[in-house]
Amino acid sequence: MSKPALSNTEGTHDLPKGRNPESAGVARQSCWRGYNYIVSKLKRYNVENHVYFVTSKTLNNKPIFLNHAYAELFINNLFSCRQRYGFLLLGFVLMPDHFHALIMPKKGFTISSVIQKIKSLFAYRLRRLGVEGTIWQKSFYDFGIYSEEKCRQKLDYIHANPVRKGIVDDPIDYRFSSMNYSDQMDVID
């Protein structure tokens, strides 16, 4: 019996015809595990005791979290990483092919190291279940939250994501969201 695999060849992301990476303001790196990554040239800033809105996608937008066992494993992994690496988790949503989270790194960790830990530990746990292949797209998107109002806007965006995508009619009905883990979310004084 063969192990389940996550394909690295479906839906490869490329620039539109006639655009080269340099004119689009991005740098193209060499092929890694069969996937051409496009990485932003923007510098990532790490500010201590700062909340970040984070988005990370699966490789080729593969909807691996339609598998509810994988989705629950990811959420357990998220809480485990929070305890292990000491970041604050203010909210999250796990969509079929990506996740959003509001995270405040602590204990000398940067947002980059926190996201790297979350993604790599989840990939390790999936491999232990026999899943092969690359799980995540390289890197992630982050947005520094600069006010309580912006934090509320991003949290509302997170919770409304399953409604906007037509998965549920009411955010409370989506089980892979902090809306259903409110008693386990961190609060900033």
Is the confidence at residue 32, as pLDDT, over 80? no
pLDDT digits (tens, 9 = 90+) for 40-85: 445 666 766 789 999 999 999 999 999 999 999 999 999 999 999 9
Instruction: Count Cβ atoms within 10 A of the Cβ of residue 2 and give its class: 0-12 exposed, 13-18 middle, 19 or more buried.
Output: exposed
pLDDT digits (tens, 9 = 90+) for 155-183: 999 999 999 999 999 999 999 999 999 99
Distance CA 29, CA 99 (A): 24
Give the pLDDT band (50/70/90) at residue 20.
very low
What's the mean per-residue pLDDT of the chain? 81
Q: Output the pLDDT for position 12.
A: 31
Coil, strand or helix at 119: helix
pLDDT digits (tens, 9 = 90+) for 105-117: 987 899 999 999 9
Q: What domains are defined for the chain? A: 44-181 (3.30.70.1290)
Our separate counts of H helices and E strands in the chain read 3, 6
Going from the C-alpha of 4 to that of each of 61, 102, 124, 133, 183, the distances in angstroms are: 17, 31, 14, 9, 35
Q: Output the pLDDT for position 43.
A: 61
Q: Output the pLDDT for position 84.
A: 93
Closest CA to 185 of 162, 158, 147: 158
Give the pLDDT band (50/70/90) at residue 33.
very low
Q: Output the pLDDT for position 9.
A: 34
